[in-house]
Structure 1
Amino acid sequence: MKVEITSFSSSFFEYLCGFIWFDQDKLEALMKRYPIGATEQGESIFWHINAENKITNGHIITMDSETGKVYDDSWYYQDGRPTCMFGEHLLGAFPSQTVALVTDELTAAVMSCFPTPYVWLATGKEQTTPTDLFPLVGKTVVVFPNKGEYNKWQETLQAVPNLQFHLSDVMENVQGDCHTIAQMVLSQQPLRPTEEEAALMRMEDANPNIALLVKALNLEVVGVSSIDEDAMKPISKSEVKSEPPPQIEDDEAMKSFLMAQEKRWHGRNPECHKCSRSHEGINGTYCDELHQYVEYGKGNCGR
């Protein structure tokens, strides 16, 4: 499998970019704390690095880049080898800091981007054993179980000797579809506006009345077109080109058309236009003797 050890081109980082909170500085700091890679398909790889800064395994997560929903997971090494906790390499760098422990790597990575007094670690598996938690002995640990996993975590933690821990029940009291503390926190974060929404916000900043108009008429921005800067520049008189009027083609069809038009509206009957009993009307030569317009080229009044 061809992978990148560190890469921002993954569904995980694409998901985080949908929130205003995660700017470039926060994402770069996140990558520095936890090297996160990617597969050729854009799946995120959360590397588990031990205290000796060696990769023991990588948890490959398949997730929706828009909703954050996890569809599947697998391991980079599938030979059943033991692995350390996600973020275990940070324990030596922050020896006196309280450890926040969660189940999945995505939650630990997300929560590390918010101002908390913890260093965030994750077991990376649903069935955590007391042996998995031995590196935390002597540390002060706060555990944030996923919704519905409080009792399971309590049994596991009590089996670890000399471990000072506090078990949080914050997720047990959360209403709705949030199952992890990261989902709860992200549900309260404003999303990054789309290109259309950003354009509307700029217009509202320029003219607050636009917001009232949009609300009153229930309007929405359906597209944004770029402005051609050259088209917005003033045009000098010297740049204005005067073009001659279009020339009528001198062909037989056009001649016939013009002649017919001349006959109907402005033509003269060559035999009648000098007659005292005729005059030129709007539709040609009018014969006062016949009380009608006469055909072009014919004198049929009998005079």
Structure 2
Amino acid sequence: MKAALIHTVQNSQTNYERIPIMADQNESAQELLLDVRVAEASHLYKFYLNQEKKILGSVAVIIFLTLWELVGNTFQLINPMFMSAPSLIWNAAIQLFYSGEIYNDLYISGIELFWGYFLSAAVAVPFGIAIGWYKKMSYVFDPFVNAMNATPRVALLPLVIIWLGIGILSKVGIIFLGAVFPILINTRDGVKTTPVNLLTAAKSFGASEWMLFKTVVLPSTIPFILTGLRLGLGRAIVGVMVGELYAATAGIGFMITVAGATFQTDKVFVGVLVFALTGMIGTELLTRVERRFDKWRPKVGSMD
């Protein structure tokens, strides 16, 4: 019995010795788990910081669309005749594309936008370079360019329709007038802001006027041209919409006019979204191209 008692005491001592070891192991495991959770939280926070713009923008859009759906469709706090809802607009868009009703309007508006924007760029870029490079041309044309740029293009729409009719040509004309001046003015200013020290250095090495233009002026002007093209695209899309709202027989703007007159607000929003998406996609593409050439843009104070 004495031996059994001694064995029991020894086992008890062994168990007491194990308790601190197990406590240390549990503490280490908890610390490791805490470190893992802190690391995960840190990675999530870094991801949020890197994607903050997209995350906040997406959340804002989702909240806005949800509230709009609740107000316009679920609870109908506003008469759907006057204010549609995202689900109704989506259904209208599917119906328009499925039936093919919208394709002719898309084609007409696309043709007008392409030719108006293309012609404005084709005229504005070389003309802007010319009046920016040659001082005498600048003295002659700058007053007219600045005056026309300050004139609302909508005020010229009746004249354009009188001259070119209510067909595609008048829309191309108003788009041209809307887009040409932002492109022209930015191109002109890009040439005028070419760093003087670069021009002086090139001349000191015997560069001809053509070499100056090709190797110095043109590279420093490209970012300004791209900025003008980006701004001009927005003006061109406005020109499409205004021209077709005013006088047209086809096009997305005409579709919006007809839908508005018959209180089909869902179709009105479909047309508005077509213009909005076109502008967003085009602007984003031009912005990305512009960023690639932004390092060529003269820095502030570099002309001294």
Per the shorter chain, which TM-score range?
A: under 0.3
Larger radius of gyration: 1
Higher helix share: 2
TM-score normalized with structure 1 length: 0.20
TM-score normalized with structure 2 length: 0.20
Higher strand share: 1
* Higher RCO (CA 8 Å, separation ≥ 6 residues): 2
